[in-house]
Structure 1
């Protein structure tokens, strides 16, 4: 089973501090903690074949930190990971992905979307119960065959404090 890691962006500037919310960057603390989380994930021997990121600045910065931390050799923007993005776009993308090489994937995005996406992949519907903390991680095992919607298995849900401790 390939693994999918849903990773929320790190701590960002407060809402309202930028005219366009999409432009809010990570704070110095958010950058530092995200780098620490990336280093911890590396010590856990995680490696992503690819990282897909929301186009918003704070998510892109998080994806760059994950890449520079040695967790992947590549990352790219995936517009559906922006707030209120459509999970079905990712499911279509995943359905067309050549999975023969294997490899885990990471999606960097926002809450509540990441929690909703995880719930939909696990239960087939969003239930508004899973919360991904800033720089937190949800790990899902995706099915080898068939659609991932409603067929994924949750194996990891951790806030950053358990990765930083």
Structure 2
């Protein structure tokens, strides 16, 4: 099974958006962030030909990133889950993956920092401390024996793609 973990693309600056009097969970992607994510996805399609499902945080910037991925991957279904919000513990998404992921072979996940680097580190090492520098629009591919029986520390790193190596 393959788990592709993606940090959301570049969104509007937090402080500038706050001045508009809007909640941070509504903060959208910038045009530059959208274009960069499209380039990352086109590159990714060269060696990850298809996705079974895209799972995303319900926050606007993650949802918009998931929609871009879905367009590049021929309208792959997007599912929102609160287990991917920034404050959620890595164990919560692992539980989701065991139950909901059992019907899939290749799952893409879109989330936020510090959650997704902590989740990836947890799956690789079994430890909650993150050792991954996860940039916006970055991608990490993990291989697991089974989603239904996934355990912390059971994943193997397949690839790590910081966006600076993909996009000019």
1:103-118 equivalence runs, <5 A: 103-118=105-120
1:40-119 equivalence runs, <5 A: 40-70=43-73, 73-97=76-100, 99=102, 102-119=104-121
**2-side partners of 1:114 and 1:98: how far apart?**
17
Tell me the equivalent position of 2:6: 7
Tell me the equivalent position of 2:135: 133
- Contact 2:27–2:60 under 8 Å retained in 1: yes
Q: CA deviation at 1:146?
A: 3.5
Show CA shifts across 1:101-151 (max 9, x none). 652111100112111001111111122320211100011111237432111
TM-score (norm 2): 0.88
**1-side partners of 2:92 and 2:129: how far apart?**
20
Structure 1 gaps of 5+ residues are none
Count residues with an aligned counterpart. 163
Q: CA deviation at 1:16?
A: 1.8
TM-score (norm 1): 0.90
- Contact 2:89–2:115 under 8 Å retained in 1: no
**Match of 2:95, SS?**
helix
Q: CA RMSD in A?
A: 1.8
Stretches of 4+ aligned residues off by more than 6 angstroms: none
Show CA shifts across 1:53-103 (max 9, x none). 01111100000000011266201111111111132222222222464x652
**1-side partners of 2:167 and 2:143: how far apart?**
24
**2-side partners of 1:132 and 1:5: how far apart?**
13
